[in-house]
Amino acid sequence: MESDLLLRILQFYPIFLFSLTIHEIAHALTANWGGDMTATYQNRLSLNPVVHMDLFGTVIIPLLPMFLSTGGIALFGWARPVPVNEARFRDTAWNVVVALAGPFSNLLLVLFGTLLMGFAYNVGVWGELGGWWVLSDELLASFATFVYFFVAINFALCIFNLIPVPPLDGSHVFYHFFVRGRGHLYGAWDIYQRLGIFILIVVVQIVPHGLFGAPIRAAFKLLTPEMAYGLFGIV
């Protein structure tokens, strides 16, 4: 039991931290491009995941389900929000660009992982057919498991962070288009922000088995050897 738990943590958490770190760096870097260097001054362009970690969103939410369940993992979580000074942006539209940069970085990592899987199977199959080398089933299985988690986690982070609930990225997009400039909504938005964490607790319980379960399973299917062969020209 303990060995299974440790294995799940080792398979999941390093990839989760890496993906979340890239997500936050994408926010900070895009803010720089928009004219705000606040995140850079506060060391949020760092590859050190510790500077981005949030106790609740980066530790408790992702890891607690592993200790409470017999086999599941939480594919969702978030980091400390990247500090942004909107007054320094060249245009208010950069609020949206910066917010979407994080999920977009995860989408790029999904694409990278899928391409990596296809490349690996091409190398393995053509190497075996040509008699150059033969990759063991154990090595292929380990690599496939790694890419499976890599794509699944990044896919989930991309979708989850687009939910318009504070402090997720989708809430900044929602605020920009539906709340900004409408003073009569500011009070309601302030209450909504205060309730954000509690709403997310409910979302975390519902989303994996509901609204986003089907697309996540579809992403998993893209990583099967048969699909990889089809996608990358191997029959």
Q: Are 193 and 201 in contact (CB under 8 A)?
A: no
What is the DSSP secondary structure assignment for residue 181, as one 8-state letter? T
Q: In this structure, what is the dihedral angle of CA atoms 118, 120, 121, 127, given to the nearest 10 degrees?
A: 140
Q: Rounded distance, CA 90 to CA 94, Å?
A: 7
Give the tokens for residue 197: 């964490």
Query: Would you say 141 and 117 are in contact if contact means Cβ atoms under 8 Å apart?
Result: no
> Which stretches of the chain are DSSP H helices?
2-34, 38-41, 61-68, 94-130, 137-160, 169-178, 186-206, 213-221, 225-231
State both tokens at 26: 């994408």
Amino acid at 117: M
Q: How far is CA 94 from CA 97, 107, 225, in A?
A: 5, 19, 41
Catalytic residues: 24
Residue whose token pair is 């539906």: 178
Q: Please, what's the largest Cα pairwise distance for the chain?
A: 71
